[in-house]
Amino acid sequence: MLKAYKYRLNPTKDQIILLEKHIGSCRYVYNWALDLKIKTYEQTGKSISQFDINKQITILKNKKEWLKEVNSQSLQGMTRNLESAFTRFFREKNGFPNFKSKKNPIQSFPVPQHYYVDFEKGVVKLPKIGEIKAVLHRSFEGTLKTATVSRSTTGKYYISILVDNEKKLPEKQEFSASTTVGIDIGIKDFAILSTGEKIENPNHLKNSLKRLKVLQKRVSRKQKGSKNRAKAKQKLAKLHEKISNQRNDFQHKLSFKLVSENQALAVETLNVKGMVKNHCLAQAIEDAAWSSFITKLEHKTEWYGKTLLRIGQFKPSSKVCHVCGYHNSILTLKDREWICPNCKTKHDRDLNAAINIKKFALIDQNLIGV
């Protein structure tokens, strides 16, 4: 089983210079390789392979002497990333690979091999850079795969290490109606469970919006290219990073709690891209980060042998009475409560949806009748 471990690096000034050289050189090689592939295809109608590109890197080094100061494995790792980008483009239609810009605040480079982690000393040794102090807050066991060194928008350095612990994913545990929970995610309440529990939306972005507007105004008032503008952008980036960390921390804790307490979780497939086109709700939907939360549930259910059940996005979870099955076709988004005309049951819209999500998922698994 492959798992990634991310650690904060605390490099010295000299090591920062070397890290920046690696970032710049790897970005240059990626753009050079992408340009080479495009021109080769235009001239010959055939694509140049990763192996042939790697052979030409040696020739490129003789022309660009500064590339010799960088780990050669990292340069070849960028051609591997480019090949993966083209594979995704042809298979998944994810979009043609773009050239990397140095203006992008998040930069990174790969370290495929010849590095090690010393938990006793609290250091990570990288080729051509040496031992860098790191916050190794948790240990791991297994075979080291490719590591990725990155620089965040606030100028912090991190290393993400992919580890093969040689363990298999646990087998899926059996579940029933009593050990399954339906989850309806929303805006006012972040998650509503079929058990009746409601998890309040922390609204991290909304709570920091006033401060964000102040910092954004300060950035816009500074002269472009000035040091004061760079300082203002740094303060703005720190607040954005804080909001992102708060959101991730909340979602990790909630997803772990739900996975630990239940054998199966039922969620609804949502068309988030279509929903954010509603400008009245777009900011609140982006703040909730539903897709990120579902991804965390997917990972944790796999790691702990639990099951994530999905129902289709067109299932009428909100409009169907979970008691008698009556379909309320005139229900609108502003109706938070409604009374079933058939059985006279008073429904909380979100709780009714969570119960229906669970029922629809169990019906698909043939665990309950229609």
User: What tens digit of pLDDT does each residue of 162-203 get?
Assistant: 999 888 889 999 999 899 999 999 998 999 999 999 999 999
**Looking at the structure, do residues 19 and 127 belong to the same domain, yes or no?**
yes
Choice among 11-25, 148-162, 302-316, 327-341 with the minimum mean pLDDT: 327-341
Range of the domain at 201: 180-205+237-364
**Looking at the structure, do residues 158 and 307 belong to the same domain, yes or no?**
no
Task: Return phi, psi of residue 281, to 5°.
Answer: -115, -5
| pLDDT band (50, 70, 90) for residue 368 | low
User: In this model, does residue 104 exceed pLDDT 60?
Assistant: yes
**Looking at the structure, do residues 11 and 40 belong to the same domain, yes or no?**
yes
**Looking at the structure, do residues 25 and 127 belong to the same domain, yes or no?**
yes
C-alpha span between 169 and 369 (Å, rounded): 31
User: In this model, does residue 278 exceed pLDDT 50?
Assistant: yes
Marked catalytic residue, from 166, 171, 241, 268: 268
Range 134-162 average pLDDT? 95
Q: Which of 105, 131, 164 finishes a domain?
A: 164
**Looking at the structure, do residues 155 and 281 belong to the same domain, yes or no?**
no
| pLDDT band (50, 70, 90) for residue 116 | very high
Residue with structure tokens 């050189």?
25
Instruction: Please indicate, yes or no, if residue 221 is contained in any of the structural domains.
Output: no
**Looking at the structure, do residues 156 and 192 belong to the same domain, yes or no?**
no
Range 213-237 average pLDDT? 95
- Model pLDDT for residues 31-55, shown as the tens digit of each residue: 999 999 999 999 999 999 999 999 9
**Looking at the structure, do residues 158 and 192 belong to the same domain, yes or no?**
no
Range 55-77 average pLDDT? 94
Angle formed by the axes of helices 13-44 and 72-92, nearest 10°: 50
Q: Which of 140, 164, 188 finishes a domain?
A: 164
184 is catalytic: yes
**Looking at the structure, do residues 152 and 96 belong to the same domain, yes or no?**
yes
Alpha-carbon 11 to chain mean position: 26
Predicted TM-score (pTM) of this structure: 0.88
User: In this model, does residue 370 exceed pLDDT 70?
Assistant: no
350 is catalytic: yes
Question: Sheet holding 2-10: strands in order across?
Answer: 107-111, 143-151, 157-164, 2-10, 130-135, 123-126, 116-118
Instruction: Please indicate, yes or no, if residue 170 is contained in any of the structural domains.
Output: no
Instruction: Please indicate, yes or no, if residue 219 is contained in any of the structural domains.
Output: no
**Looking at the structure, do residues 250 and 152 belong to the same domain, yes or no?**
no
Interacting residues of 34 by C-beta distance below 8 A, sequence separation 6+? 82, 97, 99
Instruction: Please indicate, yes or no, if residue 26 is contained in any of the structural domains.
Output: yes
**Looking at the structure, do residues 252 and 312 belong to the same domain, yes or no?**
yes
As for how many domains the chain has, the answer is 2
- DSSP code, position 327: B
